[in-house]
Amino acid sequence: MLYEQLEDRRRDTAKRLHDALHDETVGTPQALTQRDAEVALLADRLAGLRAAEHGLAFGRLDADDGEVRYVGRIGLLDEQNEYEPLLMDWRAPAARPFYTATAASPEQMRRRRHLRTRLRTVVAIDDEPLNLAELSDEERARAGSGLTSEAALLAAVSEARTGRMGDIVATIQGEQDRIIRSKPSGVLVVQGGPGTGKTAVALHRAAYLLYTHRDRLARRGVLVVGPTPTFLRYIGQVLPSLGETSVVLGTVAQLYPGLDARRDEDRATAALKGRADMAPVVAAAVRDRQQVPRAPIELVVEQQQVVLDRDTVAQARTRARRSRKPHNEARRIFRKELLRLLAQQVARRVGGDLLDRRDVEDIRDELSESPDVRRELELLWPTLSPEQLLTDLFADRRRLNSVARRIPAAERVLLERAAPGEDVPYDRRWSAADVALLDEAAELLGDDGAAQAAAEAAALREEVEYAQGVLDVLDLEEDLDPELLRATDIIDADRLAERMQVQRYDSTAERAAADREWTYGHVIVDEAQELSAMAWRMIMRRAPTRSMTLVGDIAQTGDRGGAGSWHEVLSPFVERRWRLEQLTVNYRTPSEIADVADDVLAEIDASLQPPSSVRSTGEPPWATPLPGTGADELVVDRVRAERDAVGTGRTAVLVPSARVEPVRELLAGAGVLDPEVDAEELDTPVVVLPVTAAKGLEFDAVVLLEPQEMLDESPRGINDLYVALTRATQRLGVLYTEPLPPVLKRIGRR
């Protein structure tokens, strides 16, 4: 019955989507907007119905009064039986007891049942009595643990990793559910140690908010910011599996439209660019381009002398600056005012008493058309792009020293770099740290309309070329009767292109990702502790309502410019108007590994409380020294042994940054890695990563190479070591040449 209703709804939604896409009566801009909104909504709904096929129903609640409620990924009604509920959406208020009811607080529920399925087949059933009278002594003891559906939970967290994060919709715990369903307004900070499910909570919160506040959030979308592209690939299937597509996923390096910054940059320079000090530097760089001449500039226009002296230009500049408009928009005011002043200057010279207003306007028009005047206006107040502003700034030491005086000279030199050649790809011209500076510059420069006009013209040219190609193909049909009308007799390429543009639509996510000034209904930041001050300024622009969920762990801060406390991060934007939630249970890391990691956490900050681990594997972590000779062979043997031990699971070799490529080549040469597969493809049995790329990820087994070197390569190396130790769900091993750091004293030597 459930799957019959699912198929009916899927067919109906697909038909409505088809009809909306091919509605030729749509013509007015208002109707187009309404049609696009309907198409986006139907596309989201269809995606959810398709995703629901996998684990459609996963739970059942038996109430004290005999009512039975089935819980699943979506809600379904029995259309043949007065629309009786067949299946409750997991986000519905009535489904909440499935996640929060306990034997101590059953919420009028008698039993909870977990259904584990493979496609449409039920493969396991776990029953959990919620009536204390029905519990055994052992079950009563476990009832105080705070965990719900313990059997299903432990089965889920013990499964082999697949290289992609799965949803936790069937095993959400009480403390997680409270955060997922909390109100969307304001800034919510979710602090939690490794393995507490911060990322899963954030993503399920996005799905819950889109369900509960669909009208508002579907129009504006949700932005999810992650630490690395690898991490985004890892979580990429979670929201689609929950039926939500009105979401934009990106790293900081991808938040500037059209750019995926890939330029390598050393940590010291990146940290400097991320400091709040850079905001006034960028502002000063913009003001520096609004110049007045050092000496008068004399021009001859229509046989009349025109002088651009310092006072005249300064007067126009002051007028433009007082408008408070961005640089490129204020340029129009500067230009208009300066032309007015110059026209008055010429009028006075030829006899102002003899000229009326129309004569002065004619002089101004002549000045505006003069190539010499236009050239000087552009030099004095140029139209600038963010890219041009920063390229000129970093390539000119004199200009940099002028606008960045508050930065010490010894650090200032880190910003210097030659302008990239035209042969350098756009993405390779900019680093991730540059993106926030580009965004800051774009905010200060504004848009003079030229960029948008150029983009629209380019898009139209592409449409015309495509349309012409379509018409050419139609005209080449050999069996066409020459007496019949051809396509080109009825419509030309330009008109066909316009028609195609009218019928095109973009999803909310596509429109948002392409628009730097788009503001989102809700913003989620994962590993939020890693963001620099400048990155926070950029992200806050995307969330002017401050509807945000920030998840992270201060103890895992590895970036030099990262956060030392949440107050430090948020006070410039919301002062104390934010709320904190804590996740306290570690579902990922077994107790054997957690004990080792807790020692490192105490070294970072003795006041931090480690999350409690809920399971044990019986596999203690091991450490083995690498010999002077034969070290490579031992590395290969140990990695191969861990790979074999986890079977179909995933093994990560986490190494200091300088060793990534050598270790990849070593393991590929030994046949442990496939050299033809992307080095960071998480679907492979073995992957080699620096710790910075492993944040937020999890693996069945982890082999950690050279922990002392990891400590030494960064001022926050101890935080990186903590991250590395807490990626494993089953097994952990350490290989080392330098003496093992004392903080790892609990690891048994093998």
Task: Look at residue 478 in the predicted model and tell me its pLDDT.
Answer: 47
What is the pTM for the complete model shown? 0.85
Q: How many residues are given for the chain?
A: 750
Q: Whose CA is closest to 328, among 374, 291, 293, 290?
A: 290
Q: Whose CA is closest to 655, among 620, 626, 618, 616?
A: 626
Task: Look at residue 33 in the predicted model and tell me its pLDDT.
Answer: 59
pLDDT of 27 > 70? The answer is no
**Which pair of structure tokens corresponds to residue 543?**
């969330």
Q: What is the pLDDT of residues 218-266, one digit of tens each?
A: 788 899 999 999 999 999 889 888 878 778 999 999 999 999 999 999 9
CA distance 169 to 185: 23
Q: What is the pLDDT of residues 652-678, one digit of tens each?
A: 999 999 999 999 999 999 999 988 877
Residue scoring higher pLDDT (8 or 646): 646
- Contact predicate 108/66, CB 8 Å: no
Backbone angles phi, psi at 577, to 5 degrees: -90, 60
**Region at 613 (left for phi over 0; alpha for psi -120 to 50; beta for the rest):** beta
CA distance 379 to 743: 60
First-to-last CA distance in the chain? Answer: 57
Backbone angles phi, psi at 118, to 5 degrees: -125, 105
Query: Edge to edge, what strands does the sheet with 121-129 contain?
Result: 76-78, 84-89, 68-72, 57-63, 109-118, 121-129
pLDDT of 135 > 90? The answer is no
Q: Whose CA is closest to 626, among 737, 526, 475?
A: 737
Q: What is the pLDDT of residues 139-161, one digit of tens each?
A: 565 555 567 777 788 888 888 88
pLDDT of 634 > 60? The answer is yes
CA distance 728 to 707: 16
**H or E stretch covering 731:** strand 728-736
CA distance 185 to 547: 5
Task: Look at residue 612 in the predicted model and tell me its pLDDT.
Answer: 93
pLDDT of 451 > 90? The answer is no
CA distance 12 to 79: 13
Spatial neighbors of 629 by CB under 8 A, at least 6 apart, are none
Q: Give the Å distances, CA to CA, from 724 to 159, 232, 556, 560, 745.
A: 20, 19, 10, 17, 16
Residue scoring higher pLDDT (194 or 38): 194
Average pLDDT of the segment spanning 560-573? 91
- List residues bridging with 350 in a β-sheet: none
CA distance 499 to 444: 37
- List residues bridging with 109 in a β-sheet: 63
pLDDT of 310 > 60? The answer is yes
Of 127-136, 306-315, 608-617, 624-633, the one with minimum mean pLDDT is 127-136
Task: Look at residue 502 in the predicted model and tell me its pLDDT.
Answer: 44
**739: buried, middle or exposed (CB in 10 Å: 19+, 13-18, 0-12)?**
exposed
Spatial neighbors of 226 by CB under 8 A, at least 6 apart, are 232, 235, 249, 250, 251, 526, 527, 696
Q: What is the pLDDT of residues 470-522, one digit of tens each?
A: 556 555 554 545 555 455 555 566 655 555 454 444 667 788 888 999 999 99
Helix, strand, coil shares, percent, the chain, to 5:
50, 15, 35
Task: Report the relative pairing of strands 109-118 and 121-129 from DSSP bridges.
Answer: antiparallel
